[in-house]
């Protein structure tokens, strides 16, 4: 795996030693918690004075703080500065959530080495040709 994929797509790093079922579960759960850097930046530019980008990133306390001081204009200035830092924050957020999800899935559904991808029919089951 190249360095670009490891930095910009952490989900692929965590999926390497998973079974197909684990990968499907991981991707479905990861899609629900993943944040988009473009959305966060646009929220910071247009609604940053009200803390919308902080609410989007799950930082409710800071979002409320921005709301309390929005009348001063200071949160607007801070949010414009944060536009340049948000892509790294979103990347770190996604990587930490991907790591936590992968660890949880591997603990809940351990992959057994001898088991095949598809379940085997019981020994008493036989197919007779016509």
The full set of domain ranges for the chain reads 36-109
- pLDDT at position 120 over 80: no
Is residue 79 a contact partner of residue 67, using CB atoms and an 8 Å limit? no
Q: pTM of the entire structure?
A: 0.76
* Three-state secondary structure call for residue 78: helix
Per-residue pLDDT tens digits for 53-80:
999 999 999 999 999 999 999 999 999 9
Q: Which residues contact 81 (CB under 8 A, 6 or more apart)?
A: none
Query: Whole-angstrom Cα distance, residue 101 to residue 98?
Result: 5
């Amino acid at each position: 795996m190249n360095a670009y994929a490891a930095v910009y797509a952490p989900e692929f790093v965590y999926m390497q030693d998973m079974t197909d079922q684990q990968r499907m579960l991981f991707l479905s759960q990861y899609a629900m918690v993943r944040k988009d850097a473009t959305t966060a930046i646009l929220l910071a530019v247009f609604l940053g004075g009200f803390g919308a980008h902080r609410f989007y990133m799950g930082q409710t306390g800071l979002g409320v703080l921005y709301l309390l001081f929005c009348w001063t204009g200071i949160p607007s200035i801070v949010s414009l500065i944060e536009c340049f830092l948000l892509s790294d924050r979103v990347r770190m957020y996604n990587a930490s959530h991907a790591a936590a999800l992968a660890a949880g899935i591997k603990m809940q559904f351990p992959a057994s080495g001898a088991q095949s991808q598809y379940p085997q029919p019981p020994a008493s089951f036989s197919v007779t040709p016509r």
